[in-house]
Amino acid sequence: MRTVLISTSDIGNGAGVAAFRLNRALREAGVDSAMVVSQKFSDNENVYPAREKLSGAAGRFFDKAMHFVEYHVNRLGPQCVYSVNAAGLERNGQVRAADVVNFHNIHMEVDNLSLLSILSVSREKPVVWTAHDMWPFTGHCFYPGDCARWETGCGGCPDLKIFVSLGLDTTRMQCALKRFIYRKAGPVIVTPSKWLAGIARRSPLTDGCDVRVIHNGVDTDVFIPMNKKRSRERLGSAPTGKLVMLGTLAAADPRKSLRQLVEALMILKRREEDVSLLVVGPYDVPEELSGNFRVVKTGRVFGEEEMATAYSAADIYVMSSLQENLPNMALESLSCGTPVVCFDAGGTGEIVKHMSNGYLAPRGDVKALAEGMSACLDDPILLEKMGKRGRQDIKDDFSASLMADRYAELYGELIEKRKAR
């Protein structure tokens, strides 16, 4: 069995990381698997560019011109129809050699891939589309917040600026195109969470599609519990008190609810004196936090071992997202034995079990989020039990090897069905 995974990137975003880990786990399980991507960031020899970039000054100018057109087509017309990188994807050597093709994230404002590729590839091979967010079921956005227009095929979009942004309201046209492609191509839709599977089944675009749930997985031999003191020293700072690791501080993304996170931390500060914050990533720390907490910043971290060190250094990992699919960082933290405190939003409740391996606060309840942090930090025995429970939960249900086995079983099923036609 030979498979190929299609993605906008390998390790450039959360969806790409999940696909990259699947490709690696499949190969470790003995499956001949490769990735084809728009943007390659890793040095992995089994990841191939969808298109070789043009060389020379003239080539670079032409590349920029084509991507300029691509960006504006995405802004003004149906998204992910015109793609510089996906032209003739069905003729790509890796795709032609594959028995089954698994699309992952294809949507971006630029360097996207094409919806039409799903249709063209499906004529020759069985196709799986793994949805890492709600874009496959909406008129343009990753996550629509409280908007429910996706349930009726969109149109009259209340927020064209939300990512992936639009200049004109083509959302109904976009939904009609997706509905057409689903009906013609008949991809099996895989979602990493039961929550997103419920969205897929409620969508008017996917009527008749086979929807499966296969959880994302992490390498439990890499994301392992480490000695806390030594982990803090490896970070270049060794706070002796309680250390809270934070999720994204991206102020521009309302879904990540930075304002609620800051409010919850300020409540925590009034209750707890000796608390430091660990910020992973190239984020600006809000003045309220930098002025009231000792802040340890790692900057951008790409290596998995370095991330495992950061999780192990922390007492808890805190997320404040209001919508999530199945966040990689929550899986990673639990695998490292660090409990997760978060809102019960999207698929997070499928990973974080309240008062078992972490704390689930009601969605948007700032006071409850702060109470969850205090409950974990104030009880070392509970914290230790949660850490051990979380590690076991990941090994039992969210390991990379288990993810690979489930995908390989699906691929084999689809190949046999295609042969039986």
- The band of 247, judged by pLDDT with boundaries at 50, 70 and 90, is confident
Other residues' Cβ atoms within 10 Å of the Cβ of residue 66: 17
Helix, strand or coil, per DSSP, at residue 221 = coil
CATH fit for domain 228-397, picks 3.40.50.620, 3.40.50.2000, 1.10.10.10, 3.30.70.260 = 3.40.50.2000
Calculate ∠ Cα 166-167-173, nearest 5°.
60
Among 53-57, 145-149, 232-236, which is the least confidently predicted range?
Answer: 53-57
Which residues have C-beta within 8 Å of that of residue 127, sequence separation ≥ 6? 100, 101, 102, 103, 118, 121, 185, 186, 187, 188
- The band of 251, judged by pLDDT with boundaries at 50, 70 and 90, is low
pLDDT above 70 as % of the chain: 99
- Mean pLDDT, residues 235-239 taken together: 77
Is the model's pTM score more than 0.75?
A: yes
**Could you give the CA distance from residue 241 to residue 243 in angstroms, rounded to a whole number?**
6
pLDDT value at residue 144? 93
20-46: burial string, b at 16+ Cβ within 10 Å, e else = bbbbbbbbeeebebbbbbbbbebebeb
Q: Are 73 and 43 in contact (CB under 8 A)?
A: no
The token pair that represents 194 in the structure block? 């039961």
pLDDT value at residue 252? 65
Q: Are 238 and 404 in contact (CB under 8 A)?
A: no
Closest CA to 401 of 218, 225, 224: 218
Residue 317: beta bridge partners? Answer: 245, 340
In this predicted structure, the answer to whether residue 17 has a pLDDT above a threshold of 70 is yes
The strands making up 316-318's β-sheet, listed across from edge to edge, are 294-299, 275-280, 242-246, 316-318, 340-343, 358-361
Mean pLDDT of the chain: 94
Closest CA to 414 of 48, 214, 128: 128
User: DSSP states of 98-128 as a string?
Assistant: -SEEEE-----SSS---HHHHHHHHTTS-EE
User: How crowded is the C-beta side of 99, counted as CA atoms within 13 Å?
Assistant: 16
**Could you give the CA distance from residue 164 to residue 172 in angstroms, rounded to a whole number?**
15
Torsion angle defined by CA atoms of residues 417, 125, 216 and 153, in that order, rounded to the nearest 10 degrees: -100
| Domain spans of the chain, in order of start | 2-217+400-416, 228-397
pLDDT value at residue 345? 95
Q: Is the link from the previous residue into 164 a cis peptide, with omega within 30 of 0?
A: yes
Residue 354: beta bridge partners? Answer: 358
Closest CA to 226 of 301, 308, 316, 331: 308
CATH number of 2-217+400-416: 3.40.50.2000
Closest CA to 118 of 183, 199, 38, 72: 183
Q: Are 34 and 132 in contact (CB under 8 A)?
A: no
Residue 7: beta bridge partners? Answer: 37
Domains 2-217+400-416 and 228-397 share a fold: yes
Output helix, strand, coil percentages for the chain, rounded to the nearest 5: 45, 15, 40
pLDDT digits (tens, 9 = 90+) for 172-212: 999 999 999 999 999 999 999 999 999 999 999 999 899 99
Closest CA to 165 of 105, 110, 83: 110
